[in-house]
Amino acid sequence: MASPEAKLCSTNVMAYYNGVTTSDNKRRPTYVIYLDICKTVDTVPYDILVSKLERYAFEGCTIQWIRKKEVQSQRIPNISSVSEFLLLAFADTHELQLLHFALFLGIYLAALLGNGLILSAVACHHRLHTPMYFFLLNLALLDLGCISTTLPKAMANALWDTRAISYQGCAAQVFFFLFFISAEYYNLTIMAYDRYVAICKPLHYGSVLGSRACAQMAAAAWGSGFLNAVLHMANTFSLPLCHGNAVDQFFCEIPQILKLSCSDTHFREVLSLVFSVSLAFGCFVFIVASYVQIFRAVLRIPSEQGQYKAFSTCLPHLAVVSLFVSTAIFAYLKPPSISLPSLDLVVALLYSVVPPALNPLIYSMRNQELKVAVRKLFPFILLKHP
């Protein structure tokens, strides 16, 4: 709550009760002192009282004196007063913006085509109605959702030379992006278990991964992604914002939104992050353990042809997991000292745009069953045999 004559960053009552120190426009600390002025003190003129108390001010700092009457009578705008956010532009000139629009349009259409072909082939070809292709279908759906959450808005902003996204649109983008990308990671974990059972316990594959078990595991992946997205979105958008509305990313990303918050602790978001990181680390350990068992089983196969066939069924999934995990780790665990807007933009593109576009290519390169199914479904598409 700023005094009428001071041009400072607004401080609300919540900041006082939490003992939060805010900053003014010159980045100097602002100490809020709450005075409960009773009738006996009201006999002293307010200006005289403030002049006496200002002698205790810290050197180089700005002091705001707030009377009880002012706290009760004034209402400070909260987070709902932010009606829109400004996303990071890809370029400074409109011509370069149009160039980026064309580039991302090509990537988006490639992702739509590749994942759409996988969805059509798996859904329409009865030979692909197996657990592995069922989870691949889920992966294609999640890839489509993930890239459709971020790229269309970025392309529209580049085309119309704007940076704005509404508050509701930003919240929706955060929710759906976290939903799809979390569910995709959990689905990749299930796919690792599918490969483990297929190679290490082939005789039990049909009984362990029946249709009901596959449906339950897929539902668990989607449900876990939904809960993770709700948790982070609720915590992020419940924080008061007082550092403007410019997001240093081409889509609404939680770390960039937290930089706009008045608080430096984000305690609830830290707890949510610890929970999500713990779950993600557990999935990562499970994937690594699964592939350790897979490699041990493959190396025990006597023929080289058998080893090659077993490895060929795992390599696409291993490549997709490596691409997904490596880009995500670099995006969220890189040192703050190398955090630059341009670098953050490139890293965000790597983990949010590149995997959905490359996953169909990775899975179809050496998968003859998928190629045959696509060729039968779409005879005009030429898929060359290796």
- Residue-wise pLDDT for 171-183, tens only, equals 999 999 999 999 9
> Is residue 125 classed exposed, middle or buried when 0-12, 13-18 and 19+ CB atoms within 10 A define those classes?
middle
Q: Which pLDDT belongs to residue 168?
A: 92
- Residue-wise pLDDT for 259-271, tens only, equals 888 766 556 667 7
Longest CA pairwise span in the chain (Å): 98
Nearest partner of 107 among 51, 146, 59, judged by Cα: 146
Q: How many other CB atoms sit within 10 Å of the CB of residue 88?
A: 20
Q: How many other CB atoms sit within 10 Å of the CB of residue 29?
A: 12
Between 363 and 170, the higher pLDDT residue: 170
Q: How far apart are CA 276 and CA 279, in angstroms?
A: 5
Q: Which pLDDT belongs to residue 73?
A: 33
pLDDT, mean over the chain = 77
Q: How far apart are CA 243 and CA 217, in angstroms?
A: 42
- Residue-wise pLDDT for 111-152, tens only, equals 999 999 999 999 988 888 999 999 999 999 999 999 999 999
pTM of the shown model: 0.74
The percent of residues above 70 in pLDDT, for the chain, comes to 74
Long-range contacts of 287-293 (CB under 8 A, 24+ apart): 287/188, 287/189, 287/192, 287/321, 290/192, 290/193, 290/195, 290/196, 291/192, 291/195, 291/196, 291/318, 293/196, 293/200
Q: Which pLDDT belongs to residue 222?
A: 97
- Residue-wise pLDDT for 100-110, tens only, equals 899 999 999 99
Structure tokens at 18: 């939490």
First to last CA, the chain: 69
Q: What is the mean pLDDT of residues 284-303?
A: 91
- Residue-wise pLDDT for 330-370, tens only, equals 777 776 666 677 788 888 888 889 889 998 888 877 778 88
CA 125, 126, 130 angle in degrees (round to 5)? 110
Nearest partner of 217 among 274, 272, 286, 145, judged by Cα: 286
Q: How far apart are CA 242 and CA 100, in angstroms?
A: 31
pLDDT at 78 over 80: no
Does residue 101 contact residue 261 with C-beta atoms inside 8 Å?
no
Give, for 142, the enclosing helix (H) or strand (E).
Answer: helix 131-160
Q: How far apart are CA 205 and CA 212, in angstroms?
A: 13
Q: Which pLDDT belongs to residue 26?
A: 39
The secondary structure of 304-359 as a DSSP string is: HHHHHHHHHHHHHHHHHHHHHHHHHHHHHHS-GGG--HHHHHHHHHHHHTHHHHHH
Q: How far apart are CA 55 and CA 148, in angstroms?
A: 58
Which band of pLDDT confidence, cut at 50, 70 and 90, is reported for residue 49?
A: low
Q: Which pLDDT belongs to residue 57?
A: 46
Read off φ and ψ for residue 154, nearest 5 degrees: -65, -40
